[in-house]
């Protein structure tokens, strides 16, 4: 549906899939039931055979790969056939010796004909010393994106932390906009923290937001998926 007054609807899911180390059948079912237009994945394939593995993962969800994988160090952007991708880019954060290499993926997209947006995904470090600098590098790319931004990340810290504050600055925290910031995202075994976030350009309307906590999602990963329904502004 496209309506110049209401905007173009888009369903976005952000999901740390835990390297597919849990119940992959449950994972595929969860995503298919959510039916996202855009799926932002953390801990996707990033090593040997990553292209084929990423394509297989996307196919299990009924989606296609837009960007990410090894070039973005496991961050994947997947889209439905409703979304057309017009450009992609990848980012790697400087490596701290002895730590995991981290990065981000970005894709410029068109949906519904007139609605354009940039989608981005990242997974920040568990180390509180290196995480703020990674957030700054991620945010720098978000700030120069040519289109309204939809960004999601496993930030590995809760709201109020320095990295979270950096990424969220100037953007709308979708959970807060929907008055659902009490929905916890980690861990499925013992939910105590909201460390995964979705942030959107203020021109984008947050229609609904939820964190899917079901028996199936508890089997699928160690993080719960975030599902956000948006209305995108129509391009002039």
In a domain, 166, yes or no: yes
In a structure prediction context, what are the per-residue pLDDT tens digits for the chain, which is 236 residues long?
Answer: 344 457 999 999 999 999 999 999 999 999 999 999 999 999 999 989 999 999 999 999 999 999 999 999 999 999 999 999 999 999 999 987 777 889 999 999 999 888 999 999 999 999 999 999 999 999 999 999 999 999 999 999 999 999 999 999 999 999 999 999 999 999 999 999 999 999 999 999 999 999 999 999 999 999 999 999 999 998 76
Q: Is 175 exposed, middle or buried (0-12, 13-18, 19+ CB in 10 A)?
A: buried
CATH for 217: 3.60.10.10
Burial of 188-200, coded b for 16+ CB within 10 Å and e otherwise, reads beebeebbbbbbb
In a domain, 102, yes or no: yes
- The encoded tokens of residue 106 equal 């970005």
Is the Cβ–Cβ distance between 219 and 26 less than 8 Å?
yes
- CA–CA dist 222, 197 (Å, integer): 15
In a domain, 1, yes or no: no
In a domain, 3, yes or no: no
Q: What angle do CA 35, 143, 151 make, to 5 degrees?
A: 20
pTM of the predicted structure, to 2 decimals:
0.96
- CA–CA dist 192, 187 (Å, integer): 7
Q: Tell me what pLDDT residue 113 has.
A: 81
Domain housing 88: 8-232
- The torsion defined by the Cα of 34, 39, 45 and 51, in degrees rounded to 10, comes to 110
In a domain, 41, yes or no: yes
Q: How many CB atoms lie within 10 A of CB 55?
A: 15
Q: Tell me what pLDDT residue 34 has.
A: 98
Q: Tell me what pLDDT residue 97 has.
A: 75
- CA–CA dist 228, 13 (Å, integer): 6
Domains contained in the chain, number: 1
């Amino acid at each position: 549906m496209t309506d110049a007054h209401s905007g173009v609807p888009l369903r976005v899911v952000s999901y740390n899939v835990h390297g597919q180390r849990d119940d992959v059948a449950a994972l595929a079912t969860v995503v298919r039931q959510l039916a996202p237009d855009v799926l932002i994945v953390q801990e996707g394939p990033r090593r040997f055979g990553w292209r084929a593995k990423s394509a297989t993962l996307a196919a299990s969800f009924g989606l296609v790969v837009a960007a990410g994988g090894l070039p973005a160090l496991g961050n994947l952007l997947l889209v439905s056939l409703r979304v057309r991708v017009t450009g992609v880019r990848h980012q790697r954060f400087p490596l701290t010796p002895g730590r995991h290499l981290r990065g981000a993926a970005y894709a410029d997209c068109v949906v519904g004909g007139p609605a354009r947006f940039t989608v981005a995904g990242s997974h920040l470090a568990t180390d509180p010393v290196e995480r703020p600098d990674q957030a700054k590098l991620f945010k720098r790319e978000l700030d120069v994106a040519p289109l309204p931004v939809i960004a999601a990340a496993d930030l590995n810290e809760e709201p109020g932390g320095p990295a979270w504050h950096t990424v969220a600055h100037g953007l709308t925290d979708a959970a807060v906009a929907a008055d659902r910031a009490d929905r916890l995202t980690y861990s499925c075994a013992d939910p105590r923290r909201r460390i995964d976030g979705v942030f959107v350009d203020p021109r984008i309307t947050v229609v609904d937001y939820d964190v899917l906590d079901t028996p199936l999602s508890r089997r699928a990963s160690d993080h719960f998926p975030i599902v956000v329904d948006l209305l995108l502004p129509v391009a002039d």
